[in-house]
Amino acid sequence: MKPLRLVLVAVLAGGTVAGAQAATRPEPTGPSGAAPRASVPATQAELVCPGSPLAGVDGVEDVRTSGVVAGQVAPDDLVRRLVRPPDEQGRLQVSPLGGGEADRPVERDRVARGGSLAQGATITGTGDHAPGLVGAEEVVASNDQVRGASTAPCVVTNADQWLVAGGSGAGRQERLLVSNPGENPVSVDVTGLGERRMQTPPAGQDVTVPPRSRVALLLDGITGASASQVVRVRATGGPVAAWVVDHWVDGLEPRGLEVVPATGGPSREHVLGAISKGESARVVVGAPGSRDAVVKVRAVGSDRARSVAVATVPAGTSRSVDVDVESGVVAYTVTSDEPVVAAAEVVGSASRTGGQDMSWSTATPAVRDLVGAVVPNAVAGLPRHVQLTAPSGAAEAEVVSVYAGEATTRTVSLERDRSTVVPLEDVDAVWVRRVSGDVHASLLTKGETGPGTPVLSVTPLLRARVADRTVEVLPVP
């Protein structure tokens, strides 16, 4: 008999590489007889943060806001449940996107930088400070030009992404922020799904984003005013990060601010989490394909799921669908017979001082290994909640929150078509680990600051990468 040889196949994001070596011991072969697999821990991670939301548009006066950028890596005990942590001692830092001195960690596994970084920032982790890295930028403003708050995730770059936000109300303005953390210039094309047709505006084509810089554009000047902005951002020459800033001033009264990340790409199913009771709510759906889409929207709560709307979205266009929200917090599931993109807006109820804020909930990914979010705590004491949703079957997940270096773990079980809310009293960061089933997670921030500024923001829990690749061990006779 010939001796058994092992061939290692490393499955990377871009393809398959033969001959790679496993860095961790493979798991035993399962009952199905599938080849054992092992994960190689991430040793490099980079996230891009949006920067000052109302600055940087040529010919438009900047509006001052204050913000905090924060990043944190997952607790060691949590990382060990998914992958063997790297042996290399690393570091975590925040760097201004346009260059400049990087911030040192405020404490182990955490960095923060006070004040607005006009052009944005990058958060980088190396060695044992890479697995499970998450980041966010929180902005709070209260003046005659802007009032409200936003907790926007710092994100990985992408060459093709969809963004949904904005509206046609008086004083409503949307800005597209595109950041290039790379060392080479990038060209960006912006297309939109209008209410009547797909748009390829000349002003949105071949937009150059220089190396390590950010470009800010007024979307109304590119795609025109509409009930909502549904735009696609495609980059050549390198990937980019993108957000839409939704800023509303109704006459002399500021009505809210939200920095909205990319939503999920075209799909027949989406989950829009952490929808809270407010003055009004709507779901915006875009149909980028060549056929009309029949869309169904359902509200998924803790005790039941119910249908709230059915609409047809003509091919190459977008539609805004008004929906009602009962008391409490729900998720909207959007299902369609054709691939669509979607997001949900809530305009909050008036605060005790008469002000309002608004939120946008983007489609969240199903938890495959680990998702997470940082709470920069630009204003201390704001109520925070994580909402978990199980749209397709019973599910179980672990919610791990960290405050002042101490981790708290809670196990949550969900029935099919149900959601639940987990309160976070004091929190610096939160992660959700999948145990079984499909789970989606969003972070809700809702309350008021001491002076009475209303705060309403929804942050998607995005993948917190712990492994660079999966190594498959194949026996060769």
pLDDT tens sequence across 430-443? 999 999 999 999 99
Domain match, 75 and 205 both: yes
Highest mean pLDDT among 117-121, 170-174, 405-409: 405-409
Domain match, 30 and 131 both: no
Q: Out of 27-36, 224-233, 248-257, 407-416, pick the least confident.
A: 27-36
User: Nearest to residue 235, comparing CAs of 190, 265, 198?
Assistant: 190
Helix (H) or strand (E) holding 214: strand 213-218
Name the burial class of residue 196, with classes exposed (0-12), middle (13-18) and buried (19+) by CB atoms within 10 angstroms of its CB.
exposed
Domain match, 148 and 239 both: yes
The number of residues making up the chain comes to: 477
Which is higher by pLDDT, 111 or 138?
Answer: 138
170 pLDDT band, cuts 50/70/90, is: confident
* pLDDT tens string 80-94: 999 998 989 899 999
Q: For the stretch 390-422, what's the b/e string if a residue is b when 16 or more beta carbons lie within 10 angstroms of its beta carbon?
A: bbbeebbbbbbbbbeeeeeeeebebeebbbbbb
pLDDT score, position 8 = 25
In the chain, what is the straight-line distance between the N-terminal and C-terminal CA atoms, in Å? 9
Domain match, 106 and 220 both: yes
pLDDT score, position 14 = 35
Domain match, 134 and 18 both: no
Domain match, 26 and 136 both: no
* pLDDT tens string 117-139: 789 999 999 999 999 999 999 99
pLDDT score, position 220 = 85
Cα–Cα distances in Å, from 153 out to 68, 195, 421, 458? Answer: 12, 28, 20, 10
* pLDDT above 50 for 26: no
Q: Which two tokens stand for residue 109?
A: 């596994």
CB atoms within 10 A of CB 292: 16
- The domain of 237 spans 44-469
| Calpha distance 446→83 (Å, rounded) | 35
Domain match, 114 and 35 both: no
Domain match, 31 and 177 both: no
Portion of the chain with pLDDT greater than 90, in percent: 68
Which is higher by pLDDT, 150 or 39?
Answer: 150
| Calpha distance 130→418 (Å, rounded) | 33
Asked whether the beta carbons of 379 and 149 are under 8 A apart, the reply is yes
Domain match, 174 and 296 both: yes
The overall average pLDDT reported for the chain is 87
Domain match, 16 and 134 both: no
Question: What letter does residue 107 receive in the DSSP assignment?
Answer: B
Which is higher by pLDDT, 29 or 345?
Answer: 345
Domain match, 23 and 114 both: no
Number of domains in the chain: 2
CA 211 to chain centre: 23
Average pLDDT over residues 110-118: 67
* pLDDT above 50 for 25: no
Average pLDDT over residues 2-16: 30
Name residues whose C-beta falls within 8 Å of residue 185's C-beta, 6 or more positions apart in sequence.
Answer: 208, 209, 210, 211, 237
What are the backbone angles phi and psi of residue 202, rounded to the nearest 5°? -55, -35
Average pLDDT over residues 212-216: 97
Domain match, 102 and 61 both: yes
Name the burial class of residue 261, with classes exposed (0-12), middle (13-18) and buried (19+) by CB atoms within 10 angstroms of its CB.
buried
